[in-house]
Structure 1
Amino acid sequence: MPRRRRPPRPGALADLSPTRILSQIIVLQLAYYACAAVLILFTALVFGREVNTDLLFSWRSLRGDTTVGWTLGLVWVLNSLTCVVFILLLIARSKLVLDFALTIHFIHLIVTSLYSHGIPSNFFWWALQLCSMVVMTFLGVWACRWRELRPINFGTKAAARQGNGPSEDGVGEARGRGRGRGRESAGEYEMVGMNEEDSNV
């Protein structure tokens, strides 16, 4: 007789579905570049610089010996802070934040290398990617854990409004207030709370 398979945990296939993971990666990567493009465009217009795709995809623009390089570095760090919001909305699971953060920066490394026709050899670029990944991971895990640990409301406030909540002396109002019929429908009964004098008898 063949051994019966253990049924999968509810939601496990949906959480680990390759299609869903791939779609989340694509959406996060697009959001990563979209936010960076908006921030770089705004910064370039403010400083009166020429706007081109090198500022977004070329690693040669990120240099530690120029003002433009440091400005772009701050923009990319700010972009990492912005992507934490997308991680919270799309991923919402703290144990997956590191994987997605590494994936985003690994894809960015591939895109940058293909665009610049070479692997980044600038130390400032690598240090910036490490800083960006740490910021995205730390804040992403903190935000997702904050969301995961939020208390779940099971309608206690509604019950308190109906008189079922705790009274001023800390004793539940529902105790001793029930009214109903006996098991054999012998008549109505009323539960009355016990006083201290009755309990000592």
Structure 2
Amino acid sequence: MRNRRPPRPGALQTLSPLRILTQIVLLQTLHYAAAFALILFTALAAGKPFSLDLVLSWRSLRGDTTIGWTLGLCWIMCAAAGIISLLLLIARSKLVLDFALSLHVIHLLVTSLYSKAIPRHWLWWALQAVSASLMVGGGVWACRWRELRPIAFGGGAAAAAKGKGKGRDGDEGVGYLVGKGKGRGRDGGGEYEMVGIKDGEGGV
């Protein structure tokens, strides 16, 4: 009987349904919290009454009213804040697309259930497309920037930051220093010196 290959370390934790569900709930909660705060502040500043319809109803997002365009701007700002949430909660560029689209699909369901109808205003659909594109593009860029940051080991981190990636003599690779102190080179051994060869020595 063929032996099964043991799972890769960390694979179960990465693909855990409970962890994915928790991340989705947290991401959705932060998204609505940001929208609630921005829309509440905007309504108070404009002297308009605040209600949940401004947050959860698609009927408030209309292209023929000033309130509709103002709400659209608030949702775009929420998408920008969602990039930070993706960076902190997801932190993996290949998962950003799935989580960002899941967030907007859930928002569609919540909005449809709250309004008891599927959204029919073109501004609402255009806003969702712009918001999803912004979160996917910005989230992928932010997560890749974090993933591609150089990793310094040992005491070479501080030296790399000061020397901007160069050693004492201006050579590259100070970030890979293993030893510190006098008498140690980058490979951890003693320092080396080039010695000239005198005539008559080392002949064949």
TM-score interval, normalised by the smaller of the two chains:
0.7 to 0.9
TM-score scaled to structure 2, two decimals? 0.82
1:196 aligns to what SS in structure 2?
A: coil
> What does 1:131-146 correspond to in 2, within 5 Å?
131-146=130-145
The residue aligned with 1:182 is none
Residues 158-177 of structure 1: CA distance to partner in whole angstroms, max 9, x if unpaired?
Answer: 7969xxx94427599635x9
The CA deviation at 1:103 is: 0.5
Please tell me the root mean square deviation across aligned C-alpha atoms, in Å.
2.7
Structure 2, unaligned stretches of length 5 or more? 161-165, 175-182
The residue aligned with 2:80 is 81
CA distance in 2, matches of 1:37, 1:105: 16
CA distance in 1, matches of 2:78, 2:63: 18
The residue aligned with 1:193 is 193
Structure 1, unaligned stretches of length 5 or more? 180-190
The CA deviation at 1:193 is: 2.7
CA distance in 2, matches of 1:73, 1:106: 18
The CA deviation at 1:192 is: 6.0
CA distance in 2, matches of 1:114, 1:122: 16
> What does 1:11-160 correspond to in 2, within 5 Å?
11-157=10-156
TM-score scaled to structure 1, two decimals? 0.83
CA distance in 2, matches of 1:52, 1:158: 52
CA distance in 1, matches of 2:138, 2:157: 35
1:68 aligns to what SS in structure 2?
A: helix
**Of 174, 183, 194, which residue of structure 1 is paired with 2:184?**
174
Amino acid at match of 1:56: V
Amino acid at match of 1:196: G
CA distance in 2, matches of 1:114, 1:20: 26
Residues 74-128 of structure 1: CA distance to partner in whole angstroms, max 9, x if unpaired?
Answer: 0000000011111101100000000000000000000000010100011110000
Task: Report percent identity of matched pairs.
Answer: 56
The residue aligned with 1:185 is none
Alignment coverage as a number of residue pairs: 185
The CA deviation at 1:9 is: 1.3
